[in-house]
Amino acid sequence: MGSTVITIPADVELALPKNIQNKDERQKFSIFGIISNLTLRVLDQKTKQDTRKLLHSIKVGVALVLVSLLYLLNPLYEQVGENAMWAIMTVVVIFEFYAGATLCKGLNRGMGTILGGVLGCSAATFAQEVGGMGKGNAVMIGSWVFVMGATATYFRLVPSIKKRYDYGVLIFILTFNLVIVSGLRADKVLEIARDRLSTIAMGFAVCIFVSLLVFPTWTSDELHDSTAHKFQLLADSIEGCLENYFRLDKENMKDDSISSSCKSVLNSKSKDETLANFAKWEPWHGKFGLNYPWTKYLQVGELLRDLATIVISLKGCLQSPRQPWSGLMQSIEEPSEAVGLTLAWSLRELGESLVKMRRCNKEAVIVPKLNSMRLELSSIVSPSKFGPIENVDGLAIASFVFLLTEMIEKLEELAKVIEELGELAGFHTK
């Protein structure tokens, strides 16, 4: 049997959307390429995280050895005595993974200890002067314990106080009760309070020295990097959704990475708020100033979570058993992929602007592309293009276009917030 060889000219290209005509873009748009990129990033992040955990463990060990010298060296032990245990307890309690968290707990512990000690000594002295040494003294001390404990606990439940000073109020309650009650049975309550406070200050100083000066792990860096990483996760998820939608073999689609990426973004609110709270306690360092707008990072996180919900809704819409007929899907494939690539590119551009701390140039680059994509989506549902569409097909197309339009709206809001963040934080231009 003869065969015919058809020669294809070298200058002929496949009819792909203009956004993905080159090989690199087509590979990036492949779902397998997305999964492999995600896997490599996760492994790289895991290695960095493991290294940081190891360094933190070593730093805690060093800090414990330093405060243990109060026990191990006789000249130091003669000065502090058994109160050296309070320095060790301070290191164990307040040394956290992030420098901002250590500083927050240390300052809270210091303020709570000083305030509780001063008020406890004052209350004990007042009770002794008024109630004498008999039952009257015990009644006065019991009254002080009740009033101060109830009042401090009430203030501890106030959201604004609980958010930043919960640990300090807890230490205040503990210190106040220990001082005033021990004053009932001990003669030298002022001397005891002074010695304990001095050893607590020693433990706090060791923690701050090791945490802030020896390979510090800054909370602000973690919040900055984790926020920027969410842009990449959502960009990959959008590309993966559209790649799955236009696959012919829908039964073997692998979309676990899409769901896990979106869920990780949705579940990040508590972590973001905690990191932002600790970042406010950190001193000036590196690229961050004293009055860095950390609240803007929380606003960016909220918009990214809104966008993640839309991506999950889009994923559910694309997995619905009621889909447009194949001919209609092929007709919207090219403009839909163009919109998806532009959305992913815009997200990556905003994320890169945040990572490199530079202006995103919203009006010149981001907004024109998003406006053109809005026009592209309008052409998808144009009656002049498709003619009459059955009800089921029309509903499927309308849902699909609506969710993509919602993504464009959220991206415009994100671009605006990133630009405001750049102005407040002094991001440099390209």
Q: With helix as H, strand as E and coil as C, how does 86-102 read?
A: HHHHHHHHHCCCCHHHH
- Mean pLDDT, rounded, for 366-376: 78
Is-contact 308 266, C-beta < 8 A? yes
- Rounded Cα–Cα distance for residues 350 and 360 (Å): 6
pLDDT attached to residue 299? 93
- Rounded Cα–Cα distance for residues 175 and 189 (Å): 12
- In the numeric block, which tokens belong to residue 385? 């293009």
- Rounded Cα–Cα distance for residues 21 and 41 (Å): 26
- Expressed in angstroms, the distance from the first to the final Cα of the chain is 64
Banded pLDDT at 165 (limits 50, 70, 90): very high
- Mean pLDDT, rounded, for 242-268: 70
Q: What is the pLDDT of residues 192-230, one digit of tens each?
A: 778 888 888 899 999 999 999 999 999 999 999 999 999
pLDDT attached to residue 147? 92
Residue spans of the domains in the chain: they are 50-213, 219-425
Name the average pLDDT for the chain: 78
Say how many C-beta atoms besides its own lie within 10 A of residue 336's C-beta.
21
**Residue 36 or residue 232, greater confidence:** 232
- Rounded Cα–Cα distance for residues 332 and 393 (Å): 12
- Rounded Cα–Cα distance for residues 80 and 94 (Å): 21
Q: Which CATH class is domain 219-425?
A: mainly alpha
DSSP SS3 for 285 = strand
- In the numeric block, which tokens belong to residue 264? 């990780």
Residues 6+ apart with CB under 8 A from 391: none
* Residue 294: HSE in the Cβ half-sphere, 13 Å Cα cutoff: 20
- Rounded Cα–Cα distance for residues 189 and 61 (Å): 33
pLDDT attached to residue 247? 62
DSSP SS3 for 428 = strand
Q: Is the pLDDT of residue 369 over 50?
A: yes
DSSP summary character for residue 215 = S
Least confident of 7-21, 114-128, 328-342, 395-409: 7-21
Banded pLDDT at 402 (limits 50, 70, 90): confident
- Mean pLDDT, rounded, for 370-377: 77
Q: Where would I find the H helices in 246-325? A: 256-266, 269-279, 294-318
Is-contact 349 275, C-beta < 8 A? no
Residues 6+ apart with CB under 8 A from 215: 55, 59
* Residue 168: HSE in the Cβ half-sphere, 13 Å Cα cutoff: 19
DSSP summary character for residue 321 = S
156-169 burial code (b ≥16 CB/10 A, e <16): beeeeeeeebebbb
Place of tokens 């809270």: 108
Q: What is the pLDDT of residues 282-317, one digit of tens each?
A: 888 877 877 788 889 999 999 999 999 998 888 877
Banded pLDDT at 66 (limits 50, 70, 90): very high
- In the numeric block, which tokens belong to residue 10? 């070298």
Residues 6+ apart with CB under 8 A from 422: 353, 357, 358, 359, 360
Query: What percent of the chain has a predicted confidence (pLDDT) above 70?
Result: 75
Banded pLDDT at 38 (limits 50, 70, 90): low
- Rounded Cα–Cα distance for residues 277 and 282 (Å): 10
Q: Length of the chain, please?
A: 430
Q: Is the pLDDT of residue 13 over 60?
A: no
- Rounded Cα–Cα distance for residues 240 and 311 (Å): 10
Instruction: Give the DSSP per-residue string, 148-206.
Output: HHHHHHHHHTSHHHHHHHHHHHHHHHHHHHHHHHHHHH-S-HHHHHHHHHHHHHHHHHH
Query: What percent of the chain has a predicted confidence (pLDDT) above 90?
Result: 27
**Residue 288, beta-bridge partner list:** 285
